[in-house]
Amino acid sequence: MERTDLRAADRAAVRPVTPRQRAARAARNGGEPTLEFDDRVPYDAYVQASTLHGLQTTLSDDPGEMSFLMVSQIMELYFGLTCHELRETSRLLRSDRVWDALAPLRRAALHLEGLNAAWKGLRWMTPADFNRFRNLLGEGSGFQSAMYRHLEFLLGLRDPALIRPFRRQADVHADLTAALGTPSVWDEVVALLARHGHDLPAELRERDVAVEHEPHPAVEAAWVRIYADGSPDNHLRLLGEALTEVAEQFGDWRWNHVKAVQRAMGAKVGSGGSAGLAWLQRSMSRVVFPELWSARTAM
């Protein structure tokens, strides 16, 4: 799922300018903002703000539902943005550009931090507040977020059964199937460690990437050796810390999800057919980048 380019009409409204042209416009305006445009306002043409603000259709008259809907949409955007950064990370790691991969990883961690902050917009919600519109959502559930599945797949959490809900949405299902068959960020990291001389068995290097990675002592040992080298040019150690920050922020998001569910509905059955809180708690046992954490015991 890649972003499409601006439409021709929008590109016409977002015309590039040089620093000299910008300075000339400011001089003509006497330092005041430009108020007249030949076409659509450039900001709206670029950000698509008027489109974004037209995408909220509530199912009830309850004023709190708008918070629930918009926070969910904000989270969807953060899912997509984080996926964008992790795909770039994978591309750079495949090319052995470890130093360059640090930038998108750090951005991904910051996006996840923003994603975590979005939960604060729902901290007002009690069960009574949620119940005023919950039944109108039917079987709609965050469990059904395709972009969240992309994020999990990129982080190495892989369960082929979880793409089944999308089988009647051909494009979405095809994208998720392709993602499931593409190496995760952790798969790319393991391959990178092998190329950098760490002794990793063929069963790791040649495994089916559609199957979730199982922690392996050889990968853990590689990270112990990497962290033993404290030199400033040890880019693999910097990579390990950037990956750890991503994993930690993602773990925080999952924990915040559990707390939000407890706050809004307790241990009731989930809207999407799961056991709700109990199902979320079990899902947290699947660890992102597991050997980065277990290696710390041996360091």
| Domain-embedded: residue 57 | no
- In 3D space, the residue among 184, 190, 186 whose CA is nearest the CA of residue 204 turns out to be 190
| Domain-embedded: residue 3 | no
Examine the pLDDT at 2 and tell me if it is beyond 60: no
| Residue range of the domain that includes 13 | 8-52
**194-236 pLDDT, tens digit each:** 999 999 999 998 999 999 999 999 999 999 999 999 999 999 9
116 φ, ψ (degrees, to nearest 5): -65, -40
Angle 235-265/217-228 helices, nearest 10 degrees? 120
Binding-site members are 134, 257
| For the chain, percent of residues with pLDDT exceeding 70 | 94
Binding-site members for substrate are 134
Tokens of 195: 């190329």
Binding-site members for heme are 257
Top pLDDT among 194 and 38 is at 194
Same domain, 43 and 102: no
Distance CA 163, CA 194 (A): 31
DSSP 1-60: --PPPPPHHHHHHS----HHHHHHHHHHTTTSPP---SSS-HHHHHH-HHHHTT----SS
Write down the residue that tokens 């998720």 correspond to.
Answer: 176
- What's the structural domain count of the chain? 2
Put simply, whether the predicted model's pTM sits higher than 0.95 gets the answer no
Same domain, 164 and 264: yes
pLDDT for res 79: 97
